[in-house]
Chain A
């Protein structure tokens, strides 16, 4: 397949994943803000903006005003925000269009219809009463796309590049959420175990759709250490770092199998895999969670860059 096509499917998948993650994060932020007073909820919204790495763009438009409706409209549809959900869906669709011949008709139509539907839903500012519905619509559309991919795509290089894009993006997202909660939202050790702390952890789980799974595994006990372990190391949870790394590895080695050669990305991938094999939550916390996550985000990014180069994404 063409390098440009690999690039298009990879980024299509990343943008779709990012759109979904942003809407999940908003959902968690919204819920958290509902349980707090106006002033405190500003902090939650600030953390949402921080998590997606849009602080500079946001403050250029709205200054320090972290009112809920400003934040969610910024993240959902603001023209000045290249990372808005709408912009992501548009970018995903543009990429899909440029690699139209690599996609099944059903995948293309699912993406195209999602774009048409969400463009309509996000044509006007979203009011608080409609926010839940809008976020639900985003999730539903992304689920439809995922279903079309799962049900119709040939399991070949095209599928590998799509999956690689998905898991690079997802791992990055889970890592950022965890980092913001642990590093930014936790003002002092004294807060640990407070009810606010618990609400925040619950919202983290919610943002990665893991609240039900976690409760199921832990009989409802909210424990930061347990949650961190779950989000980083639990291979059964589809949004954990370990799960993403595992999928990344299997798709990357799928490519090596199909092409008959390995690349520098495979070496980096092996190193990343080893890090996970030798880690448990004790060693991670000992070395510092923030440091662990910062290293992870950088390694994940390096793998992505190596893939772009090794497989000739650009001329």
Chain B
């Protein structure tokens, strides 16, 4: 088994012993027949196809449904590690919400000279429509995905905050279902904390954010762009599991100051919309007038406090990678505490000194677009050709404020199952966080994304990444 010595292997220590988190699992694994495991891998693929756990691809083969490859070796986190992580995540999410409230109100952080006004004013994700209004329950990011990477035994870092519309939670749930169906006996040997009640917790959390006009049992609906959206499976899955209505823009209309859905018996008001439609498509009267995905007039209802939109419009600004670089300051400013979770060191190319450094060291760095996502439009210096680096330098010089740079991290590895046995691959982790006036709720586990290609650091499913079941062990 080969693995690069510079990366932290989460299963196997340098002296080839099995780390604590994986000891129970390895006992089980070593007793398994390899041929039987290979068969199971094929079964898993059949299960995903049959269930329709697919994502749609845009572009070349538009309309085609693909599977995100699933690897059957779990990613395991000990109870101690998880406790530490959750404290850091909770602190960060509290800070994110306070920051969002602040930038849409008095902008104290700017007045205090701790954050540049420019990053707000020039940001397309900043919505003037949100200025001065408080969302029902005071919550901006009801559902957050914090992308974590690991570089050592105690070194977890935040790579990205997903405050807009974090996706992937259905994979967290279906991966667990699949593992339990494939290896039921494993779960009686290794005590794993359950994730299955996430939809129930989500429903509860969303209901707790309902506006004052809602009845005792708030009506919750999931708003999807429709079956051709790449994450449609997840939208329908969550609505199904929550017992919520799955609605499209064409089902909704503003009637008597409320947002209502067209049922077979007429229009019925709804209280909470978990929307999986981007801000700009939400309301053709306020934002993109060509949008057929949204609801004309919903922003007026929202500003009148008669509907909850989760996540709140305008939260996407917190996903911006230039703003990310200020997260340590943001956490400190709003919580008065040192950040428990580190940021990845980040150079803002908008700053002349940083730009000069980045240009000098481009071949060693990872450069990302500040508004980019999905692993598109980025440069990974060490795995790029000289020409690619040179071409990227041209783009960078032309629009430096569009980029940030980070060191190429030695992401930790977890083995995947291959024909030749276990082989280490780089991973990240996206835990899912629910926020309501009742508190912050973090489901133990999350989505582990894994780069299936040997040596690759890109875990995005759009770039050939796969997923793993993520276990948090019981105490």
| Cβ 8 A contact of A3, one of B51, B237, B239, B262 | B262
Q: Which of B242-284 contact A (CB under 8 A)?
A: 245-248, 250-251, 253, 261-266
Number of residues on chain B facing chain A (CB within 8 A): 24
Q: Would you call A259 an interface residue if the criterion is a C-beta within 8 Å of the partner chain's C-beta atoms? A: yes
CB of A112 within 8 A of CB of B50, answer yes
- The interface residues of chain B, by DSSP majority, are classed as mixed
| Cβ 8 A contact of A116, one of B50, B236, B251 | B50
A101-B240 contact, Cβ under 8 Å, with A157-B264, A311-B264, A312-B263: yes
Q: C-beta contact mask, A1-13 vs B, less than 8 Å → 1, else 0?
A: 1111010000000
A175-B247 Cα distance, complex, nearest whole Å: 37
Q: Which segment, of A92-100, A226-234, A246-254, faces chain B?
A: A92-100
CB of B52 within 8 A of CB of A4, answer no
A116-B49 contact, Cβ under 8 Å, with A101-B239, A101-B240: yes
Q: Would you call A197 an interface residue if the criterion is a C-beta within 8 Å of the partner chain's C-beta atoms? A: no
CB of B227 within 8 A of CB of A109, answer no
User: A-B pairs with CB below 8 Å: how many?
Assistant: 60
Number of residues on chain A facing chain B (CB within 8 A): 23
Q: Please, which residues of chain A bring their CB within 8 A of the CB of B232? A: 97
Q: Shortest distance in angstroms between A295's beta carbon and chain B's nearest beta carbon? A: 29
CB of A97 within 8 A of CB of B264, answer no
Q: Would you call B69 an interface residue if the criterion is a C-beta within 8 Å of the partner chain's C-beta atoms? A: no
Q: Which of B216-248 contact A (CB under 8 A)?
A: 226-227, 232, 236-237, 239-240, 245-248
CB of A113 within 8 A of CB of B50, answer yes
Q: Would you call A214 an interface residue if the criterion is a C-beta within 8 Å of the partner chain's C-beta atoms? A: no
A4-B245 Cα distance, complex, nearest whole Å: 11
Interface centre among A100, A116, A259 (most CB of B within 10 A): A100
Q: Which of B21-79 contact A (CB under 8 A)?
A: 49-52
A4-B262 contact, Cβ under 8 Å, with A108-B52, A315-B250: yes
A312-B260 Cα distance, complex, nearest whole Å: 14
A2-B51 contact, Cβ under 8 Å, with A101-B236, A312-B264: no
- The closest CB in chain B to the CB of A255 belongs to B264
Q: Please, which residues of chain A bring their CB within 8 A of the CB of B263? A: 1-3, 312
Q: Please, which residues of chain B bring their CB within 8 A of the CB of A97? A: 52, 227, 232, 236
CB of A1 within 8 A of CB of B264, answer yes
- The closest CB in chain B to the CB of A313 belongs to B264
A232-B168 Cα distance, complex, nearest whole Å: 53
Q: Please, which residues of chain A bring their CB within 8 A of the CB of B246? A: 100-101
A207-B261 Cα distance, complex, nearest whole Å: 42
| Cβ 8 A contact of B52, one of A6, A112, A157, A259 | A112
CB of B264 within 8 A of CB of A315, answer no
Q: Please, which residues of chain B bring their CB within 8 A of the CB of A1? A: 263-264
A315-B227 contact, Cβ under 8 Å, with A3-B251, A112-B50: no
Q: Please, which residues of chain A bring their CB within 8 A of the CB of B227? A: 94, 97-98
Q: Shortest distance in angstroms between A13's beta carbon and chain B's nearest beta carbon? A: 16
Q: Which of B189-228 contact A (CB under 8 A)?
A: 226-227
Q: Please, which residues of chain A bring their CB within 8 A of the CB of B265? A: 259, 261
Q: What 7 additional pairs, Cβ within 8 angstroms, besides A109-B51, A116-B49?
A: A2-B264, A97-B52, A98-B227, A109-B52, A259-B265, A311-B264, A315-B251
Binding site for A on B (CB under 8 A): 49-52, 226-227, 232, 236-237, 239-240, 245-248, 250-251, 253, 261-266
- What are 11 pairs between A and B in contact, CB < 8 Å? A1-B263, A2-B262, A2-B264, A3-B251, A3-B264, A97-B52, A101-B236, A101-B239, A312-B263, A312-B266, A315-B253
